[in-house]
Amino acid sequence: MKISIVIPAHNEEKYIGRCLTSINDQIAPNDLQVETIVVLNRCTDKTEEIAKLHGATVVSNDSKNLSEIRNTGVAHTKTEWVITIDADSWMSKGVLAEIYKHSKLPNSLGGGIKIVPERLSPGIAVGYGMMLVPAFFLGLSFGMYWFKRSDFDAIGGFDEKLHIAEDVDFLRRLKLHGRKSGRRHTTISVESVTTSCRKFDEFGDWHFVRIFGNPLKVKRAMLGGERKYLDKYWYNVKR
C-alpha cells in the first residue's frame, strides 16, 4: 500500500523537522510506502532545506489561502490514500498503522484523529472544549485527515472560497459523499496527533475563547473578509 502525506508549511523551520521525524519514525507494516510532500508557502527560512533533509518532496504555493495550499499538495500526490497534517503537529508512532488497518476495511471512507495540545492550561482547555464539544455532536474532527484521492476529486477538494475552517468543511462534505455508497468516516482514538501551542504562546492561553467568541467575525474571515484579522491570526503568525 502507498500513501501520501501533504504538509502546508509557511516558515516552519522550528517545527517541520519534528513533524517529518514523527512520520519517518512510524511503526508501520513493511508493505506501507510513504510519500511526503511539503507545500512551501512564502518561506524565507530553512523550511525547504529541512524538508529535503528528511526526504520530503517540496512544491510551492504562495497564496494566502489554506484551501489552495492544501489542494496544491494533493495535486502532486501519486497515491490513492492521502493524509494532510499541519507542519507544527506530530504523530504518535502508530498513526500510520491505524490508517493502514482502517483503509483495508471495505466500507472505509477515511476520517480524522484525536488531537491533543502540547501543553494544557485552563484557557487552552476551555478553548479546545469550545471546538471539541460541537465536533463530537456533529461527528467531525480537525487537525489531520486521511482520505482517498478519488473521493477528494469527486467532492472538489478543499473549498477555495474558504480561507479558514477549510479542513472541517472538507470532512463534512466527505462524510456526505461517503454516505451515498454506504462508507463511514472514522476518528482514530487509540493514537493521536499533538499540535504545538505557539498561537497560545503568542496571543495568550485564552486565544481560542476570544476568537470563537466572535462567530460573525470568524464567518466573515472564512469567506476572505477581515484580511488583517486573517493575516494576524493565521497567515502572518510569527514563526
Give residue 123's pLDDT: 96
Expressed in percent and rounded to 5, the helix, strand and coil fractions of the chain are: 40, 25, 35
Euclidean distance between CA atoms 193 and 201, whole angstroms: 19
Q: Cell digits for 161? A: 472560497
Q: Tell me the three cell numbers of residue 48.
A: 525547504
Residue 67: how many CA atoms within 13 Å on its side-chain side? 20
> What pLDDT does residue 34 have?
97
3-state secondary structure 44-102: CCCHHHHHHHCCCEEEECCCCCHHHHHHHHHHCCCCCEEEEECCCEEECCCHHHHHHHH
What is the pLDDT, as a whole number, of residue 4? Answer: 98
pLDDT at 204: 96
Q: Where are the alpha helices (DSSP H) in 108-214?
A: 122-138, 149-154, 166-179, 198-203, 207-212
pLDDT at site 139: 76
| Whole-number pLDDT of residue 199 | 94
Contact 39, 70 (CB under 8 A): yes
The grid cell for 215 is 462567530
Give pLDDT, residue 162.
Answer: 96
DSSP 2: E
Amino acid 136: pLDDT: 73
Torsion angles phi and psi, residue 60, rounded to 5: -130, 145
In order along its 239 residues, the chain shows pLDDT tens digits of: 999 999 999 999 999 999 999 999 999 999 999 999 999 999 999 999 999 999 999 999 999 999 999 999 999 999 999 999 999 999 999 999 999 999 999 999 999 999 999 999 999 999 998 888 777 767 778 889 999 999 999 999 999 999 999 998 999 999 999 999 999 999 999 999 999 999 999 999 999 999 988 889 999 999 999 999 999 999 998 77
- The pLDDT, as a whole number, for residue 102 is 96
Position 147 scores a pLDDT of 98
**pTM attached to this predicted model:** 0.96
Domains of the chain: 2-116+141-195 (3.90.550.10)
- For residues 142 and 164, what is the distance between their CA atoms, to the nearest angstrom? 12
Question: For residue 109, what are the contacts with CB-CB under 8 A and spacing of at least 6?
Answer: 147, 148, 151, 174, 175, 177, 178, 183, 184, 185, 186
